[in-house]
Chain A
Amino acid sequence: MRLKTFRAPRMAEAMARIRAEMGEEAIILSSTRVAGGVEITAGLEPPEAEPLPLPPVPAPPRLSFQPLPDGIARPLLLFGPHGGGKTLTLAKLATRMTLTGQAPLLVAADAARAGAVEQLAAFARVLGLGLVVAETPAALARALARRVAGQPVLIDSAGCDLLDLAAAEALVGLCRIAAADAALVLPAGLDAAEAADTARAARAIGARWMLPTRLDAARRWAGWLMAAEAAGLALDLAGTGTGAADGLTRLTPEWLAARMRLSDPRMKAAA
């Protein structure tokens, strides 16, 4: 509503000015006698003034929790940005399997980075597991063909920028040759928008799971949570420590809720 107050010596003059300034549609809202004449308040409702409905509330993040594939029916391929903890995560998964009596085949498709294979080889030696270094897609196919029936396969891949088209295409090719289930390994503490972009790219490449890492070291979890939600990647295990045997934690809604409450220092002080 537009509103304006007019003062004039006589009512007729005030009315004439209202009609001239606000038009025939204006409504007299109040009139009162003042010293030296009248004061009239007029109102006008512009035709376009229909208010918009209340905007919908953004839905709370919906996280999906699905068990990570066991690598038996199809190999499990870990991929993600450089330095996100892929190799350590793979070692932790292998350790879990070894502790339950399985002997997974480890495949390093991570030949690009110096030292990457050495790190995995060290883990394989400790666990007494076989390690295949597959520097080419053909080598990967050969390695997979040699595996024992019912043996889980875990594939480590080279760290890459998922938003880089060539890197994304190489990963798609790797997934296809290996006929693998793919899981994104994403460190906590990244910027939320950056993490979400990476996760969407991972989804486009074929990932259905996300393994967040460094949950013990990062205080800000918005990045990986937003990424999992934005890309619809399922959660199951997360890196919560450097130990190969105990550094993976199963994510559940209850665990997340409890941890996120305690990360508020004021709540810690109040507890």
Chain B
Amino acid sequence: MTPPVPRGRIIAIASGKGGVGKTWFAVTLAQALAEAGQRVLLVDGDLGLANVDVQLGLNPPHGLAQVLVGHMPLEDAVTQVGGFSVLAGSSGSGALLGADPAVLAGLLQAGAEARDALVLDCGAGLDAAPRRLAAAADILLVLATDEPTSLTDAYAAMKLAWRDVPGLDLRLVVNRAADARAGARTHGALASAVRNFLKRELPLAGIVRNDAKVPDAIRHQTALLTRHPASAAGQDVARIARAL
């Protein structure tokens, strides 16, 4: 038997609700890991509205869909940006919906080979596509803000993820927290729901403070740590990256 190829961790980002900063967080986490010296592949698995390329100001000719349907090898579809690689998404292509989970998992594992980390933006929603992506993760980071809609959707995403993979390493990231205390309160509320209703503990991966530099970087289609390396949100994501 050949020993398994050593590969980097697959770190998936999910949120349930859209609009809580999932794509931004995935991009920034990929950059933070790369700046810490890791070899990183960022995969945009957001089937509904793939936006990683837009946030990074890229115009990639190929992406996940071409790889999934077998038109090209993964490494040919990857685009280099700054210090990391990007496999762009394909909005509404449908390729991901019908993808065989085994093929998808194999593709992600191949992408993580010869790298230290694969950061995967799972996309919003609770349908089969984001669930399958989350199920392929070594670590699932669920992103939530303090809004009630985000809390209930993050809870639903966690419940589904644990149903699909009971032993999943799932951690919470609180995004857009007014301050550290507010972030801890948001974690406390979700951890309480998880403890009471799901009989599990909810580890906190970290809190990202609300920061006007984030929308500024997104508007300029530039990664946050490039445009505002000293920003509070950037430093928070870098801290999360170090602790992973």
Which residues of A come within 8 Å of B, CB atoms? 1-5, 27-30, 32, 41, 43, 45, 51, 53-55, 57-58, 60, 261, 264, 267, 270
Contacts and interface: CB of A to CB of B under 8 A. Distances in A.
A35 B24 CA distance: 33
A4 B186 CA distance: 14
B100 A57 contact: yes
B99 interface: yes
B101 A27 contact: no
B193 A29 contact: yes
B160 A51 contact: yes
A53 B163 contact: yes
B128 A5 contact: no
Interface of B: 61, 70-71, 98-101, 128, 131-132, 135, 148, 151-152, 155-156, 159-160, 163-164, 185-186, 188-190, 192-193, 196-197
Contacts of A53: 163-164
Contacts of A261: 70-71
Given A27-B196, A261-B71, A2 B135 contact: no
A214 B192 CA distance: 64
A85 B61 CA distance: 41
Given A27-B193, A27-B196, A267-B71, A54 B135 contact: yes
A253 to B, nearest CB: 13
A51 B192 contact: no
Given A1-B156, A29-B190, A54-B164, 4 more contacts: A3-B155, A28-B192, A29-B192, A58-B98
Contacts of B156: 1, 51
Closest 4 CB pairs of A and B: A29-B189, A30-B189, A45-B197, A27-B196
B71 A3 contact: no
Nearest to A29: B189
A60 B160 CA distance: 25
A27 B197 contact: yes
Contacts of B101: 54, 57
Nearest to A50: B163
B193 A57 contact: no
Given A1-B193, A3-B148, A41-B189, A54 B100 contact: no
Contact of A60 (B100, B128, B196, B197): B100
Contacts of A28: 192
A222 to B, nearest CB: 13
